[in-house]
């Protein structure tokens, strides 16, 4: 039997000591806590139960004990006792609980989610924490790439799905794993992105899904510390953190930052009808927003909402962020429904949410990139006034307005101009500061880019919910035929629209984000909610045809062009959209609007054309771009460019010529912009000697 000492309240979780292992967990209202030690993850009963004496093993809200004779690899869990109150969850000592701070998890072979519900014991089917090392990431040898927001391009992908798919070049045994993703990194580096954003890789419950399906995306957190076991090569729980580190190290070697999509707004325990697995059993009244009757308050759409305003909950979230940023080396976080973390008691929105204040005040987190969704399922939407100055926000209006313009909707020219100007209408009549808006056309949630131009409506029957799930308003257009077709004219128009959409995204100020596989026309068959599709629907497209490769080449060159012109497209000092008579600040560029005639933009509701130019007081016009979403070609006047224009992009031209590696001169005073196409011209000195 293990020997026992009183232990220390810090650090939280399980940490090795010269004597053995120190265990510490938060349970403010508990009257009794038991630490259970298991021989391995499959053991049906603990080999030792250690009852913690409140006089020796409790410091305020923390229960702690130091156990001798155990070390790395020790499997453990808890039972927690406390007062029961009718109408509330109270405590359920029949349930064996996972430590919220466990850095690795075992017991998946025997785990049964349904055993967490009700009063019956779940000892034989529970998950256990595993004592692991807490080493710091080797930043000396693998430093953070630290790309500026100005030059950042994010690529959102699914760790399990990116290396899978017919024709995958990844070693078969490594497909779907952290190590498999390493083999795919040269592909991402060569594409030209700077940052990979990983869909949730914190441990989640794949069984948290209806109709016997699998939770594939991972927005169902079971732990905020442990990596997800489903992406591990092998089954040794002590190896999983090393594999995550290996992935991050490899990304850094390829110059790629790693952002992790984190779900701190809710947990997999769900509503009152859900299982008691971890947080709920230690103190559901601490972790979850509830009303006076004990009913859960839900702005996540998943049955519960985390009370991130409370000190002990904030401490756990911050500990999680430090775990991933300092121990595993990731470079930033994307907060799922992040604005929900700004809510206080009774879900009151807070202008100074304490969680974000503490994140921004923490020097060890100061060099991270932070991104958030500015909305939650309770209707809160704060984009320009997101209550954290270092957090960039997903700009959903950018997505919608670009789609509407190229779809040919009425009253779309003015709103598109706002997005191309940095969304001043959304940011207090000033363009968004660099690093505040994440611009995107597609994300994991919704149509892929190829499906956006191929389907008018969602096709989600494979999800088993009679096509009721997923958004019904996608601003998509099938161009005449629903889904794949053999009509060459329709397919050519769809391909042109893909280029129009990508070019508009990459030529706009802000931080662009791309979705896995959009560069090779990856399709989900019209499924716009593939959260449960661990199948070819949700995997990468690794068998591109000639058209797929042509689009990938277009995007590669487009990304090189954006990097080459980053100081113009996404400048530190926002573009001036004031009168041309106003003098510019040093280093500032003037953004001017045009229509088919210079200086005469058409903002009418029926307009489907727009042109813009960038210039400075010294050199004159530097860039000109014409966008024509009309069904006929339009003749656009051009501003005079003394050194001469180069024809950089023309999406109406054949693949390869639409964005040539060496742009040729354009000497005419006007240009024809074909129907539903985009043209970009650049002053010759800007691209002198450049190869795209």
d(CA 153, CA 143): 19
What b/e string do you get for 573-592 counting C-beta neighbours within 10 Å, with b at 16 or more? ebbbbeeeeeebeeebbbbb
Looking at domain 4-130, its CATH architecture is: Sandwich (2.60)
Confidence at 234, pLDDT banded by 50, 70, 90: very high
Confidence at 582, pLDDT banded by 50, 70, 90: low
User: Residue 214 class from Cβ within 10 Å (0-12 exposed, 13-18 middle, 19+ buried)?
Assistant: middle
d(CA 59, CA 62): 5
Cβ contacts of 67 within 8 Å, gap of 6 or more: 2, 3, 4, 5, 7, 20, 21, 23, 35, 37, 50
Contact 41, 237 (CB under 8 A): yes
Query: Does residue 618 register a pLDDT over 80?
Result: yes
CA angle 471–476–481, rounded 5-degree value: 120
If one compares 293 and 529, the residue with the highest pLDDT of the two is: 529
Q: In the chain, where are the structural domains located?
A: 4-130, 163-263+312-567, 573-687
Tokens at 615, concatenated: 């210039």
Catalytic, out of 205, 373, 400, 409:
373
Maximum alpha-carbon separation in the chain: 89
Active site residue 261: no
Tokens at 435, concatenated: 């690093």
Ramachandran sector of residue 510 (left: φ over 0; alpha: ψ -120 to 50; beta: rest) = left
Tokens at 26, concatenated: 């938060």
Q: 566: helix, coil or strand?
A: helix
Query: Does residue 579 register a pLDDT over 70?
Result: no
> Are 4-130 and 573-687 equal in CATH topology?
yes
Q: Per the CATH hierarchy, to which homologous superfamily does domain 573-687 belong?
A: Golgi alpha-mannosidase II (2.60.40.1180)
SS3 content of the chain, % helix, strand, coil (to 5): 25, 20, 55
Active site residue 445: no
Peptide bond into 11 cis (omega under 30): yes
Ramachandran sector of residue 263 (left: φ over 0; alpha: ψ -120 to 50; beta: rest) = beta
The reported pLDDT for the residue numbered 88 is 61
The reported pLDDT for the residue numbered 574 is 80
pLDDT digits (tens, 9 = 90+) for 335-367: 999 999 999 999 999 999 999 999 999 999 999
pLDDT digits (tens, 9 = 90+) for 116-151: 998 899 999 999 999 999 999 999 999 999 999 999
Q: Which of 96, 93, 91, 81 is nearest to 36 (CA)?
A: 96
What dotted CATH number matches 163-263+312-567?
3.20.20.80
Catalytic, out of 197, 205, 336, 592:
336
pLDDT digits (tens, 9 = 90+) for 480-519: 999 999 999 999 999 999 999 999 999 999 999 999 999 9
Ramachandran sector of residue 406 (left: φ over 0; alpha: ψ -120 to 50; beta: rest) = alpha
């Amino acid at each position: 039997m293990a020997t026992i000492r009183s232990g220390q309240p810090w650090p939280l979780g399980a940490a090795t000591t010269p004597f053995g292992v120190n265990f510490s967990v938060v349970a403010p209202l508990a009257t009794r806590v038991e630490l259970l030690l298991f021989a391995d993850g499959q053991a049906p009963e603990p080999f030792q139960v250690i009852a913690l004496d409140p006089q020796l093993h409790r410091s305020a809200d923390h229960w702690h004990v130091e156990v001798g004779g155990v070390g790395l690899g020790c499997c453990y869990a808890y039972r927690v006792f406390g007062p029961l109150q009718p109408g509330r969850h109270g405590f359920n000592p029949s349930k064996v609980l996972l430590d919220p701070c466990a850095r690795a998890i075992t017991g998946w072979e025997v785990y049964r989610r349904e055993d967490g519900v009700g009063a019956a014991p779940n000892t034989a089917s529970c998950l256990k924490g595993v004592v692991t090392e807490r080493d710091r990431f080797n930043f000396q040898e693998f430093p953070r790439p630290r790309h500026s927001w100005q030059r950042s391009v994010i690529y959102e992908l699914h760790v399990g799905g990116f290396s899978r798919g017919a024709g995958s070049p990844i070693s078969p045994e490594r497909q779907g794993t952290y190590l498999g993703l390493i083999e795919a990194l040269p592909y991402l580096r060569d594409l030209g992105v700077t940052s990979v954003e990983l869909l949730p890789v914190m441990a989640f419950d794949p069984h948290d899904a209806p109709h016997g399906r699998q939770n594939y995306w991972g927005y169902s957190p079971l732990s905020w510390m442990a990596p997800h076991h489903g992406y591990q090569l092998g089954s040794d729980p002590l190896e999983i953190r090393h594999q995550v580190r290996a992935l991050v190290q490899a990304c850094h070697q390829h110059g790629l930052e790693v952002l992790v999509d984190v779900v701190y707004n809710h947990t997999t325990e769900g509503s009152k009808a859900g299982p008691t697995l971890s947080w709920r059993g230690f103190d559901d009244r601490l972790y979850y927003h509830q009303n006076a009757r004990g009913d859960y308050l839900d702005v996540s759409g998943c049955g519960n909402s985390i009370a991130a305003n409370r000190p002990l909950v904030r401490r756990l979230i911050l500990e999680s962020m430090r775990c991933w940023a300092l121990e595993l080396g990731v470079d930033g976080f994307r907060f799922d429904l992040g604005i929900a973390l700004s809510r206080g008691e009774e879900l009151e929105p807070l202008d100074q949410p304490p969680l974000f204040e503490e994140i921004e005040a923490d020097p060890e987190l100061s060099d991270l990139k932070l991104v958030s969704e500015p909305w939650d399922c309770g209707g809160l939407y704060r984009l320009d006034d997101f209550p954290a100055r270092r957090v960039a926000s997903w700009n959903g209006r950018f997505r919608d307005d670009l789609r509407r313009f190229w779809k040919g909707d009425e009253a779309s020219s003015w709103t598109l101009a706002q997005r191309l100007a940095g969304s001043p209408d959304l940011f207090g009549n000033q363009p968004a500061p660099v690093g505040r808006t994440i611009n995107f056309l597609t994300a994991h949630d919704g149509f892929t880019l190829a499906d956006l131009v191929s389907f008018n409506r969602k096709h989600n029957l494979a999800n088993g919910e009679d096509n009721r799930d997923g958004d019904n308003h996608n601003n998509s257009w099938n161009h005449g035929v629903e889904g794949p077709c053999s009509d060459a004219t329709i397919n050519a128009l769809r391909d042109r629209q893909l280029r129009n959409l990508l070019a508009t995204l990459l030529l706009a100020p802000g931080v662009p984000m791309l979705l896995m596989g959009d560069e090779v026309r990856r399709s989900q068959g019209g499924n716009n909610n593939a959260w449960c599709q661990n199948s070819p629907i949700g995997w990468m497209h690794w068998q591109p045809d000639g058209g797929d490769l042509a689009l990938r080449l277009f995007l590669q060159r487009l990304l090189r062009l954006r990097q080459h012109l980053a100081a113009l497209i996404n400048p530190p000092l926002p573009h001036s959209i004031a009168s041309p008579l106003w003098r510019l600040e040093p280093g500032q560029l003037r953004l001017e609007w045009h229509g088919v005639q210079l200086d005469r933009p058409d903002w009418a509701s029926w307009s489907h054309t727009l042109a813009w130019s960038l210039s400075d007081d010294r050199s004159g016009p530097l860039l000109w771009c014409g966008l024509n979403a009309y069904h006929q070609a339009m003749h656009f006047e051009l501003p005079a460019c003394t050194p001469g224009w180069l024809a950089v992009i023309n999406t109406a031209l054949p693949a390869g010529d639409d964005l040539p590696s060496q742009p040729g001169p354009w000497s005419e005073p006007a240009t024809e912009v074909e129907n539903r196409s985009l043209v970009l011209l650049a002053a010759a000195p800007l691209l002198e000697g450049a190869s795209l």
